[in-house]
């Protein structure tokens, strides 16, 4: 399970005129909600349903070892005439590793991981592919309760506006 805040600002240049476009989550930005699920939109509240989840039927007579993992990548793209001149991204995530008793619905938070990603990428659309983007800034222990709205719809992709 993961919650996020994701303002991403794209600067576009054409004929010397700069314009800005951004993806934002208005309810998070305005403080109306504390978190929003970044689930895949199908498997609420989970981020996915392959490597991200594991079902153990129990009780078990011995310790059970399992692996869960998640992978997310930021893929900005440019269509038609390339005019993208910069990307600013400030995104924070909280991910919870949880155990859920399917019979009672009880949720036990096993581990909380929080991180933040801030980046600024300058883009020169006139350079050849593979040379257009330049990273301008360096990449940068207590469990917490999961905010209730991070466990239900909408997910981040459905709630953001352009």
- For 113-148, the three-class secondary structure string (H helix, E strand, C coil) is EEEEEEEEEEECCCCCCCCCEEECCCCCCCCCCCCH
pLDDT at 106: 92
Question: Which range scores top for mean pLDDT: 15-24, 37-46, 145-154?
Answer: 145-154
pLDDT > 70: percent of the chain:
77
pLDDT at 104: 92
Q: What string of H, E and C letters represents the secondary structure of 1-20?
A: CEEEECCEEEEEEECCEEEE
Q: Where are the domains of the chain?
A: 2-159
Residue in the structure block whose two tokens are 């050849």: 128
Claim: this prediction has a pTM higher than 0.75: no
Residue 75 has pLDDT above 80, yes or no: no
Q: Do residues 35 and 16 make contact, with C-beta atoms less than 8 angstroms apart?
A: no
Spatial separation of the C-alpha atoms in residues 145 and 162, rounded to whole Å: 30
Residue 3 has pLDDT above 50, yes or no: no
Residue 4 has pLDDT above 50, yes or no: no
Residue 100 has pLDDT above 50, yes or no: yes
Question: Which range scores top for mean pLDDT: 20-24, 64-68, 158-162?
Answer: 64-68
Chain segment 107-133, per-residue pLDDT in tens = 899 999 888 877 888 888 888 888 988
């Amino acid at each position: 399970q993961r919650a996020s805040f994701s303002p991403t600002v794209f600067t576009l240049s054409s004929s010397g005129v700069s314009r800005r476009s951004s993806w934002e989550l208005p309810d998070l930005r305005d403080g109306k909600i504390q978190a929003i699920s970044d689930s895949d939109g199908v498997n609420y509240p989970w981020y996915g349903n392959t490597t991200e989840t594991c079902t153990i039927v129990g009780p078990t007579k011995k310790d059970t070892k399992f692996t869960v993992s998640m992978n997310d990548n930021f893929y900005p793209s440019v269509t038609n005439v390339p005019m993208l001149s910069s990307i600013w991204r400030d995104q924070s995530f909280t991910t919870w590793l949880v155990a859920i008793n399917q019979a009672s619905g009880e949720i036990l938070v096993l581990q909380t991981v929080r991180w933040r990603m801030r980046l600024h990428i300058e883009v020169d659309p006139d350079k050849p592919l593979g040379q257009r983007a330049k990273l301008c800034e360096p990449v940068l222990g207590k469990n917490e309760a999961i905010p209730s709205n991070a466990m239900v719809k909408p997910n981040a992709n459905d709630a953001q506006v352009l």
